[in-house]
Amino acid sequence: MKYSLFSLARNALSHHERWPRAWRSPPPKQFYDVVIIGGGGHGLATAYYLARNHGITDVAVIEKGYIGGGNTGRNTTIIRSNYYLEPNAHFYEHSLKLWEGLSADLNYNVMFSQRGVVNLAHSYADLDNYSRRGNAMRLNGIDAELLTREEVSGMVPLLDCSSTARYPIMGGLLQRRGGTARHDAVAWGYARAADAGGVDIIEQCEVTGLRRDGNRIVSIETTRGVIRAKKIGLAVAGHSGHIAGMAGLRLPIETHVLQALVSEPVKPVLDTVVTSGAVHFYVSQSDKGELVLGGDLDMYNSYGQRSNLPPVEHAVQALLALFPSFSRLRMLRTWGGVMDMSMDGSPIIGKTPLDNLYLDCGWCYGGFKATPASGWCFAHTIANDQPHELNAAFTLDRYGLGKAIDEKGGGPYPWVH
Amino acid sequence: MLSIPCPYCGPRDVTEFSYGGDGNVRPPTGPDAASEAAWSAYVYLRANPRGVHEELWQHSAGCRRWIRVTRNTLTHEMHGSAPARASAAAS
Amino acid sequence: MPEAVRTYAFDACAAGAENSTVVAPGVTIAERRPRSMLNVRGDPADAGLASALRESFNVTLPLEPNTVTAAGATRALWLGPDEWLLVSERHALQPPASPGRGTLTDLSHGRAVLRLSGPDVRAVLAKGCGLDLHPREFPVDRCAQTAIAKVSVILDHVQPDVFDLYCPRSYARSFWGWVTEACAEYGCRIAPPAS
Amino acid sequence: MTQRFRLASGGLVDRSRPCAFSFDGRDLQGYAGDTLASALLANGVHLVGRSFKYHRRRGIFGAGAEEPNALVQLETGARTEPNTRATQIELYDGLTAASQNRWPTLDRDAGAIYNVFSRLLPAGFYYKTFMWPRSWWLRYEHVIRHAAGMGQSPRAPDPDHYAHRHAHCDVLVAGGGPAGLTAALAAARTGARVIVANDDFEWGGALLREAVEVDGRPGLEWIRNAVAELATYPDVTLLARSTVFGYFDHNLLGVVQAVHPRASHAPRQRLWKVRAKQVVLAGGAIERPLVFADNDLPGVMLASAVSTYVNRYGVAPGQRAVVFANNDSAYATALDLHRAGVVIAAVVDPRLDPKGELPTSARAAGIEILAGHAVARARGGKHVESVLAGPVDNGFVGAAQRELACDLLCVSGGWSPAVHLFSQSKGRLRYDERITAFVPDVSAQAERSAGAARGLFSLNRCLADGAEAGAAAAEAAGCRRISAAVPAALEVADDPMLPLWDIQSDATRTSKRFVDLQNDVTARDVALGVREGYRSVEHLKRYTTLGMGTDQGKTSNINGLAILAALIDAQIPDVGTTTFRPPYTAVTLGAIAGPEIGAHFDPVRLSPMHDTHEVAGARFINAGLWRRPMVYPRAGESDPDATNREVLAVRRKAGIVDVSTLGKIDVQGRDAATFLERVYVNRWRNLAVGKARYGLMLREDGLIFDDGTTTRIGEDRFHMTTTTANAGRVMSHLEYYLQVHWPELDVRLTSVSDHWAAVALAGPESRNVLAALTMADVGTAALPYMGYCEAIIAGVPARIFRISFSGELAYEINVPADYGAALWNALLDAGRAYELGVYGTEAMGVLRIEKGHIAGMEIDGRTTPDDVGLGGMVAADKDCIGKPLLARPALRAEDRKQLVGLVPVDGRSAIPKGAQLVVDPQRAAPNPIIGHVTSTCYSPTLIRPIALALLQRGRARHGEKLYATSPLSNTVVHVEVVPHVFYDPKGERLRA
Ligand SMILES: Cc1cc2nc3c(=O)[nH]c(=O)nc-3n(C[C@H](O)[C@H](O)[C@H](O)COP(=O)(O)OP(=O)(O)OC[C@H]3O[C@@H](n4cnc5c(N)ncnc54)[C@H](O)[C@@H]3O)c2cc1C
Ligand SMILES: NC(=O)c1ccc[n+]([C@@H]2O[C@H](COP(=O)([O-])OP(=O)(O)OC[C@H]3O[C@@H](n4cnc5c(N)ncnc54)[C@H](O)[C@@H]3O)[C@@H](O)[C@H]2O)c1
Ligand SMILES: Cc1cc2nc3c(=O)[nH]c(=O)nc-3n(C[C@H](O)[C@H](O)[C@H](O)COP(=O)(O)O)c2cc1C
Ligand SMILES: [Zn+2]
């Protein structure tokens, strides 16, 4: 049933008792052309674009819990394409363009809200850096504006723009087309659209082993039985290392936990997404009214998907350093997500040393915004057995070759990206 | 907040430490020392288990020793710690 | 040539201390100006080092982690398994010519020292310090390197309810601000610097 | 008349201390010991707010942390606090509160229109609409945003402050009810260090609402004695008004305490971080509502809350009550009300024959019990006026209904143990059929639950359980167990409850049955979610927002789960709970942040000469944690003019700059030179004592990590310098290699950064200035370029390094930090004769750009030595960190960006910061970028703008003309590529 105001009104008459399931829940078949492991945004988008762009519909997405329950469901939902290095810039800009049409494309309102993302500059060095980045963006066809302190203050009135602040605001880099989206809706919207395209979405099905024969994965062991597939795509974010390990691969990935938290909801006070590199922090206000804050990693390998006080303290301190008037609001909930931190802060989308195993990981802090383009490119790579030009640089072997794509220049220490 | 057992100073809050990652990477030696692949593996490939992990930490706000801690990355259960140096010398 | 003027890290902070008139303060803050601080590095088993230190300064290095040995006006603080800090209130500690295989580095100007004392001193320290400072766990002559308010601090329990806090000199003024704010709720007296 | 509903006597309020307060502009009165909620009820005010989505009228529902409805905007101005639970606000004189989420008034709220259209607004309606036209979403969203939210954020900085406190204990007890108090007593008696925290301002928990005896004495007396005994132990910390909000790894618990009473300088709240050896969780249990039509009317309240208002506050929340319960506990409420003179219209109980002790007493008191009945629907406009009750069969109430007039409906659907903290600790729950609730099962950390928190609902058993838990915890923490008498209370025999999750009737179609009162989630929403496939409990939560409000579903979770389970034909334990996460109740952000905000957000580092700079009128900048003088403008002088003046002073005469911020490491030991050979790309063994050398360090991946000069000050001793930004990282990196990989090296590192003040003295006159201050021979023969000596300067023992960042004859002078200011002033005095100036980081930057020296923008973590023109430094005949991977082809590729200089073709256009280099600036995007400007300035020496840039194949392009473009500032400058050393390329001046 197509979603629209009309169908909503019609169903209201029948007390909403006739809505169909958003996606089916079929039992797993024994064989698929393509199996995508991981029912996060990336896995679901990949399945959707396999069907939509490549006509490959004998596809299953296997999810150990519930779809969107990984980082897709626990991120701060910031969407932007303000990258400096070219492979990133083009890839994320493609993603942003897909976001702009996504609700219509999926017939599911993902509430992509282009409210603007501003990176605060706290020093002349920050301003130089942002100029460098913004200029590169503009040359790459991406919108960017450098704001003065007064302009920042005008957009974000509660920000402490006084010159005595510990990290004074000197200006900012604004991407107006950036914003946020409703994270869960992204997973559900892709699932519904993929399902409509024939994809089987199989939840509560954990991959427990990958049986390998020479250079191929011959079967996938799951908690719901053995499944075989011609091609297998891995899109399991922080679990990439663990599952690649089942196939005997060691990845340039470390798993770290990233914290987020929300405040109690209040009436609108913050209409722009505000981030600060210097204090490692980002905040936006959701449509329900909570302030959504993200912070730093725990800074050690971890699969413990739970909250931890020091990063929460730091994120809140950063918030209050910038927005002193929020100190009386309350923290409602905190949680953590299990991140796939790569060795250069950029993703890996492509082939692996195994013939029929493909990899989509290394998303670090930033993979939610990548969801559409990641699905687009990963589907392309799987369908054609070669990368799309947008993900050609994101290979697994780039590290050894000296072709790291290091946006921050932090080096091979994943927890610094 | 983790409590990390410094073999010298005793248990201290994690905020006193800085992380050094996988404790079992070693610069290639012997014939491997000439191999670019071995060096790449040393720099870019780390153990990333969901479970017991041997890792390095520096007690940076304390005695400044680098130590080797064995910790479960899922439960954060601690299985002991030792000076980083001792094991390095032993290997 | 005139004698050079020495300026202390807390100079501007402690100004006016003489006029501090809080009655029954929970905490008293005083700047310390030890004459000399010497960093000792070496093998605790190095007899040469031990005897050099004994002869020159009459100190024995503490071998138990996080403890202090005191000899007259000189305290030896354990900082690490091969590292100590010798602090003398009065003497200029001249490194002995041949300290065994150890190395001695003058750090007299590297750290600024505050002495906090009074009934609420533990409550103040606990505001920023994660260590267990209960007198049973952290008795007199125990020391620790730790972080307080994001500043690396050496904590030395010199007498009951009296703690010396060594912070890197460049952080001193910032740290002073934190400490005085932390003390405020308990009533805080600022005593003149003691050298 | 005020306080119409206050009982003549009873309760813990202090009738001699009235408190005037106002709600929505109405002036009212309560007593010390009241909460805002009890005071409102005493005045007959039930209606306190509007619901989140449909803007329905809502009243006070509970009496504590579980309250979903009664959220108010407390106070105004800078001290305003949104969404504050009236049930937990301790009343004080002068309190002002207002209702939320309504306009213009609580009674007449325009938002109530949403209730009219509620059919169009089922769970998740927004996912299905507002997609057309595409560009309109921001407009729709604007409306949605303004309808959502709840209270108002303060808009002024907080006048209060917050403190943190670390604590350690043997036993932390969370909860100060009967179980918590007996646990604390048992632990304290062993001599254990105990912290006991209770979120309420009164100790006693449920005992405060129960008219019962302990050890034959009134319950309140037992509480008083218990607290008094606890207060006598020196190692017991009693924290009232303190919520244990989070259970984190390694038995660290977060407690937030409201500081009371507040002395001057006292914080508003204090966040305790408690590292406990053992924990006793005694947070009690939370009563559950029942789900029936219009169960959200003001006047519908939890039965236990009603008991609390009657017994603890001396308030009767109504005059004629119906009690609707599926278990025995609410009969106590009926009896409490009865005793207080409230008419009990009936007790409605779905059980066919309730015959426990309490129902029996109720019957004996003449209270009518409608057994086998359920309430199908509450009726009323602004308040409940009556209920319709009838025989219930399998959750359905048929047409045979009886209307019972009432102004108070007390509901109880059973109890859920507060397993929040237990679950946060990662303990595993078990479903207990007997009480139809989840209870703690397997622990993951050193904790145990006690009392109602683990499903024991009899007071007598709670007392004993707490005592045992406290003793066991102390023992596990290493204390000696002692035997002591356990307090006792009468066992009250009760009947099992009868689960009743969703009560349907003919009203089902037209009325709403609320599951989550705060987020306006109805049983129908749950059904819709299930129908559409959002069947995982986590999906259901996210699709309907069930349990996502400020109460985190304390009263709604189990009902929601049970309804879901029934719809998908599953058992409740198979459905499972959603994840419990910190905090237990919401915690003020200010308390989380503590004092480390504002100026203390990060410490500031100051050089020993800071005050001197301030007196000299410096403008400062932040560089990492350091505050450094950027420029010293004179009156009326612009920053650029001042910078030019400072630069020219150095080039023509002399200048001094404070470089104390550089990292300095004393490297000592027999293997010091070997060590340096391994960490730097260049050679060190052959460096003579008394000589300095510029060194470059790589990361392990071959890219540049840091640079600086290192000087051999003794055979086995080097003085290493690092960049300001990397000082800490370099030290750790070096310690890592020494301790982990090269323990065999005899090398010791001591950070001496803070011990030495450092001044760079630069310019053609600098030698003369220096000579005026020292007896030492500083002539070029004795102290040549890259030479080192120790000398007394201005009466201070100093280390003099003849090194130059500026490109002029220059010295870096280090003196012990306390003499930094003296040195600085002596240099100024001596320099006066030579027109010596002071310069800041800005001028230092210009000098180094003119000289083509690299800094942070050139070594940005992506460049190799060769990229920045230093490829020749990499010694071919030795290994060092990073060298193996520096050999990778991509790091030696032809088309890498290389360091070049740029000058504007017209000789005067400034080259914009952050400009990118392109061949054709007019080209449409994407326009290929072939390089970028790293550092740019106006060179007063060369009288034209100059810049450094990284440019593809740059060294081969000298002489080429390109464009430096900055679309952000709309500027394009035609530039010529030149070698990167603009000034004195032969280095004659610095060797002078
Ligand atoms: C706190 C936080 C804040 C963030 N903020 C942002 C932001 O603002 N903007 C942004 O762009 N990005 C952000 N991110 C990153 C972003 O969330 C992720 O990069 C992105 O969602 C990853 O999507 P995914 O589909 O790859 O992974 P996931 O959504 O994690 O999906 C992976 C799925 O694989 C499943 N899986 C794992 N193991 C198995 C198995 N053995 N068998 C079957 N299934 C398995 C998991 O259950 C999971 O559902 C943030 C992340 C976090 C944690
Ligand atoms: N009759 C019944 O069915 C029934 C049901 C439940 C409880 N009860 C009664 O409740 C009592 C149970 O005693 P108890 O001691 O186990 O529980 P309690 O409810 O008496 O005490 C718990 C206390 O802990 C506090 N608290 C809760 N969470 C907290 C937190 N995170 N941090 C700090 N404080 C917190 C509460 O405010 C309360 O004061 C008994 O008197 C029992 O009879 C009866
Ligand atoms: C953008 C965003 C907004 C959220 N808003 C709320 C909220 O208003 N209320 C709430 O209880 N949780 C909110 N959450 C947190 C979720 O409840 C949940 O904690 C998170 O998705 C992680 O899942 P888990 O806690 O079940 O592991 C939000 C999460 C995200 C990512
Ligand atoms: Zn230590």
pLDDT tens-digit map of C36-78:
999 999 999 999 999 999 999 999 999 999 999 998 889 999 9
Predicted local distance difference test score (pLDDT) of residue D750: 97
> Which two structure tokens, joined as six digits, stand for D191?
């001599």
Convert the pLDDT of each residue in A292-332 to its tens digit. 999 889 999 999 998 899 999 999 999 999 999 999 999 99
Identify whether the C-beta of residue D47 lies closer than 8 Å to the C-beta of residue D298.
yes
Predicted local distance difference test score (pLDDT) of residue A417: 72
Calpha distance D607→D515 (Å, rounded): 62
Convert the pLDDT of each residue in D411-438 to its tens digit. 999 999 999 999 999 999 999 999 999 9
**Identity of the residue in B42, B66, B78 whose CB atom sits nearest the CB atom of D736:** B66
In chain D, which residues have their Cβ closer than 8 Å to the Cβ of A135? 914-916, 932, 965-968
Q: What is the mean pLDDT of residues D222-247?
A: 98
Convert the pLDDT of each residue in D374-391 to its tens digit. 999 999 999 999 999 999
Q: How far is CA D548 from CA A75, D58, D480, in A?
A: 16, 18, 44
Calpha distance D143→A233 (Å, rounded): 41
- Of all ligands present, the nearest one to the C-alpha of A39 is 1
- pLDDT grade for C17, boundaries at 50, 70 and 90: low
Please name which of A345, C83, B77 lies closest in space to residue D250, comparing C-alpha atoms. B77
Convert the pLDDT of each residue in B3-15 to its tens digit. 999 999 999 999 9
For the structural domain made of B3-90, what CATH number should be given? 3.30.2270.10
In chain B, which residues have their Cβ closer than 8 Å to the Cβ of A255? 48, 50, 73
What's the per-residue H, E or C state across chain A? CCCCHHHHHHHHHCCCCCCCCCCCCCCCCCEEEEEEECCCHHHHHHHHHHHHHHCCCCEEEECCCCCCCCHHHCCCCEECCCCCCHHHHHHHHHHHHHHHCHHHHHCCCCCCECCCEEEEECCHHHHHHHHHHHHHHHHCCCCCEEEEHHHHHHHCCCCCCCCCCCCCCCEEEEECCCEECCHHHHHHHHHHHHHHCCCEEECCCCEEEEEEECCEEEEEEECCEEEEEEEEEECCHHHHHHHHHHCCCCCCEEEEEEEEEEECCECCCCCCEEEECCCCEEEEECCCCCEEEEEEEEEEECCCCCCCHHHHHHHHHHHHHHCHHHHHCEEEEEEEEEEEEECCCCCEEEECCCCCEEEEECCHHHCCCCHHHHHHHHHHHHHHCCCCHHHCCCCCCHHHHCCCCCCCCCCCCHHHC
Nearest CA to ligand 3 atom 26: D579
- pLDDT grade for C16, boundaries at 50, 70 and 90: low
> Strand D587-588 and strand A330-342: pairing?
antiparallel
Calpha distance B29→B39 (Å, rounded): 10
Predicted local distance difference test score (pLDDT) of residue C65: 97
Q: What is the mean pLDDT of residues C89-108?
A: 90
Our measurement of the distance from residue D669's CA atom to the centroid of its chain's CA atoms, rounded to an integer in Å, reads 45
Q: How far is CA D248 from CA A348, B76, B78, B81, D426, in A?
A: 33, 11, 15, 21, 9
> Which two structure tokens, joined as six digits, stand for A403?
């072709």
* Main-chain dihedrals φ then ψ at residue D783, nearest 5 degrees: -135, 80
Instruction: Inspect the interface and report whether the beta carbons of C131 and B83 lie closer than 8 Å.
Output: no
Please name which of A7, A29, A30, A33 lies closest in space to residue A20, comparing C-alpha atoms. A7
Instruction: Inspect the interface and report whether the beta carbons of B62 and C83 lie closer than 8 Å.
Output: no
C68, C89, C106 — which closes off a domain? C106
Q: Are residues C114 and C28 in the same domain?
A: yes
Q: Which residue of A has its CA nearest to D594?
A: A317
Please name which of A164, A240, A171, A160 lies closest in space to residue A207, comparing C-alpha atoms. A240
H or E stretch including D376?
A: strand D373-379
In the predicted structure, residue D787 carries a pLDDT above the cut 70: yes
Calpha distance D331→D364 (Å, rounded): 12
In the predicted structure, residue D362 carries a pLDDT above the cut 70: yes
Nearest CA to ligand 3 atom 10: D548
In chain B, which residues have their Cβ closer than 8 Å to the Cβ of C80? 8, 63-65
A146 vs chain D: nearest CA distance in angstroms? 6
Calpha distance D256→D269 (Å, rounded): 7
For D290, the 3-state DSSP assignment is coil
For D984, the 3-state DSSP assignment is coil
Q: Is A in contact with C (3 or more beta carbon pairs below 8 Å)? A: no
* DSSP category for residue B79: E
In chain C, which residues have their Cβ closer than 8 Å to the Cβ of B16? 130, 146-147
Convert the pLDDT of each residue in A135-155 to its tens digit. 999 999 999 999 999 999 999
In one-letter notation, the amino acid at residue D645 is: R
Calpha distance D348→A267 (Å, rounded): 40
> Does C114 reside within a domain?
yes
Instruction: Inspect the interface and report whether the beta carbons of B63 and C80 lie closer than 8 Å.
Output: yes
Count the domains in chain C.
Answer: 2
Convert the pLDDT of each residue in A192-239 to its tens digit. 999 999 999 999 999 999 999 999 999 999 999 999 999 999 999 999
CB of B37 within 8 Å of a chain D CB? The answer is no
Predicted local distance difference test score (pLDDT) of residue B63: 97
In the predicted structure, residue C20 carries a pLDDT above the cut 70: no
In the predicted structure, residue A281 carries a pLDDT above the cut 50: yes
Mutate to test the interface with A, among B50, B71, B75 (most CBs of A within 10 A): B50
Please name which of A185, A237, A227 lies closest in space to residue A202, comparing C-alpha atoms. A227
Instruction: Inspect the interface and report whether the beta carbons of C146 and B65 lie closer than 8 Å.
Output: no
H or E stretch including D173?
A: strand D162-174
- pLDDT grade for B86, boundaries at 50, 70 and 90: low
Calpha distance A407→A92 (Å, rounded): 13
Q: First CA to last CA across chain A, in angstroms?
A: 44
Please name which of A50, A189, A93, A268 lies closest in space to residue D131, comparing C-alpha atoms. A189
B90 vs chain A: nearest CA distance in angstroms? 25
Calpha distance D55→D48 (Å, rounded): 12
C106, C140, C159 — which closes off a domain? C106
Predicted local distance difference test score (pLDDT) of residue D651: 98
- pLDDT grade for B90, boundaries at 50, 70 and 90: very low
Convert the pLDDT of each residue in D462-484 to its tens digit. 999 999 999 999 999 999 999 88
Please name which of B27, B71, B44 lies closest in space to residue D737, comparing C-alpha atoms. B27
Convert the pLDDT of each residue in C102-148 to its tens digit. 999 999 999 999 999 999 999 999 999 999 999 999 999 999 999 99
Give the position, in ligand 2's atom list, of the atom nearest the Cα of D203. 39
- Of all ligands present, the nearest one to the C-alpha of D466 is 2
- pLDDT grade for A279, boundaries at 50, 70 and 90: confident
Identify whether the C-beta of residue A136 lies closer than 8 Å to the C-beta of residue D155.
no
Q: Does residue D312 or residue C3 have the better pLDDT? A: D312
Q: Residues lining ligand 3, CB < 6 A? A: A 73-75, 77, 183, 262, 286, 288, 290, 292, 332-333, 335; D 538, 548, 552, 578-579, 581
In the predicted structure, residue D306 carries a pLDDT above the cut 80: yes
Calpha distance D490→D216 (Å, rounded): 9
Q: Are residues C27 and C123 in the same domain?
A: yes
Q: Which residue of D has its CA nearest to A1?
A: D128
D177 close to ligand 2 (CB < 6 Angstrom):
yes
D356 close to ligand 2 (CB < 6 Angstrom):
no
In chain D, which residues have their Cβ closer than 8 Å to the Cβ of A400? 888
Convert the pLDDT of each residue in D516-554 to its tens digit. 999 999 999 999 999 999 999 999 999 999 999 999 999
CB of D143 within 8 Å of a chain A CB? The answer is no
Instruction: Inspect the interface and report whether the beta carbons of C65 and B65 lie closer than 8 Å.
Output: no
For D107, the 3-state DSSP assignment is coil
Longest dimension (CA), chain C: 53
Predicted local distance difference test score (pLDDT) of residue C19: 63
Predicted local distance difference test score (pLDDT) of residue D117: 87
What structural domains does chain A harbor?
30-81+84-106+183-253+344-416 (3.50.50.60), 117-177+255-342 (3.30.9.10)
> Does C2 reside within a domain?
no
Q: Are residues C102 and C137 in the same domain?
A: no
Give the position, in ligand 1's atom list, of the atom nearest the Cα of A338. 53
- Chain D: partners with 3+ C-beta pairs within 8 Å: A, B, C
**DSSP states of D194-209 as a string?**
EEEE-SSSSS-GGGGT
Q: Are residues C64 and C88 in the same domain?
A: yes
- Chain A: partners with 3+ C-beta pairs within 8 Å: B, D
In one-letter notation, the amino acid at residue A329 is: L
Predicted local distance difference test score (pLDDT) of residue D510: 87
In one-letter notation, the amino acid at residue D328 is: D
> Does C48 reside within a domain?
yes
Q: Are residues C21 and C54 in the same domain?
A: no
Q: Domain spans of chain B?
A: 3-90
For D593, the 3-state DSSP assignment is helix
CB atoms within 10 A of CB D97: 25
Calpha distance A323→C193 (Å, rounded): 38
* CA A333 to centroid of ligand 3, rounded, Å: 7
Predicted local distance difference test score (pLDDT) of residue D394: 92
Q: How many residues does chain C have?
A: 195
In chain C, which residues have their Cβ closer than 8 Å to the Cβ of B63? 65, 79-81, 83, 145
* Main-chain dihedrals φ then ψ at residue D865, nearest 5 degrees: -55, -40
Instruction: Inspect the interface and report whether the beta carbons of D755 and C175 lie closer than 8 Å.
Output: no
Please name which of D290, D313, D312 lies closest in space to residue D301, comparing C-alpha atoms. D290
**Identity of the residue in B3, B58, B88 whose CB atom sits nearest the CB atom of D741:** B88
- Of all ligands present, the nearest one to the C-alpha of A207 is 1
ipTM, two decimals, is: 0.97
Range of the domain at C88: 36-106
- Of D150, D548, D585, best ligand 3 pocket probe by most atoms within 8 Å of the beta carbon: D548
D805 close to ligand 2 (CB < 6 Angstrom):
no
Instruction: Inspect the interface and report whether the beta carbons of A325 and D925 lie closer than 8 Å.
Output: no
Identify whether the C-beta of residue D560 lies closer than 8 Å to the C-beta of residue D526.
yes
Please name which of D419, D440, D463, D454 lies closest in space to residue D185, comparing C-alpha atoms. D463
Q: What CATH number is associated with residue C51? A: 3.30.70.1520
In the predicted structure, residue D459 carries a pLDDT above the cut 60: yes
Please name which of D803, D805, D811, D804 lies closest in space to residue D778, comparing C-alpha atoms. D811
Predicted local distance difference test score (pLDDT) of residue B91: 40
Q: What is the mean pLDDT of residues D793-818?
A: 97
> Does C195 reside within a domain?
no
A258 close to ligand 1 (CB < 6 Angstrom):
yes
Q: Which residue of C has its CA nearest to B15?
A: C147
In the predicted structure, residue C155 carries a pLDDT above the cut 90: yes
> Does C139 reside within a domain?
yes
Identify whether the C-beta of residue D821 lies closer than 8 Å to the C-beta of residue C5.
yes
Convert the pLDDT of each residue in B46-79 to its tens digit. 999 999 999 999 999 999 999 999 999 999 999 9
What structural domains does chain D harbor?
1-158 (3.10.20.440), 162-285+417-476 (3.50.50.60), 290-413 (3.50.50.60), 610-660+756-847 (3.30.1360.120), 663-751 (3.30.70.1400), 894-992 (2.40.30.110)
Q: How many residues does chain B have?
A: 91
Q: How far is CA D804 from CA D298, D328, D631, D991, in A?
A: 79, 87, 20, 9
* CA D602 to centroid of ligand 3, rounded, Å: 29
Convert the pLDDT of each residue in A333-378 to its tens digit. 999 999 999 999 999 999 999 999 999 999 999 999 999 999 999 9
Please name which of D177, D254, D249 lies closest in space to residue D584, comparing C-alpha atoms. D254
- Of all ligands present, the nearest one to the C-alpha of A259 is 1
Give the position, in ligand 2's atom list, of the atom nearest the Cα of D585. 31
Give the contacts of D186 (CB within 8 A, at least 6 positions apart). D466, D467, D468, D469, D470, D471, D474, D484
For D908, the 3-state DSSP assignment is coil
In the predicted structure, residue C4 carries a pLDDT above the cut 90: no
B91 vs chain A: nearest CA distance in angstroms? 22
For D43, the 3-state DSSP assignment is coil
Is the backbone of residue D690 left (phi > 0), alpha (psi -120 to 50) or beta?
A: left
Predicted local distance difference test score (pLDDT) of residue B89: 44
Q: How far is CA A287 from CA A216, D144, D271, D587, in A?
A: 46, 7, 30, 21
Instruction: Inspect the interface and report whether the beta carbons of C144 and B9 lie closer than 8 Å.
Output: yes
Identify whether the C-beta of residue C160 lies closer than 8 Å to the C-beta of residue C86.
no
Q: Are residues C117 and C186 in the same domain?
A: yes
Predicted local distance difference test score (pLDDT) of residue C18: 63
- Chain B: partners with 3+ C-beta pairs within 8 Å: A, C, D
> Does C87 reside within a domain?
yes
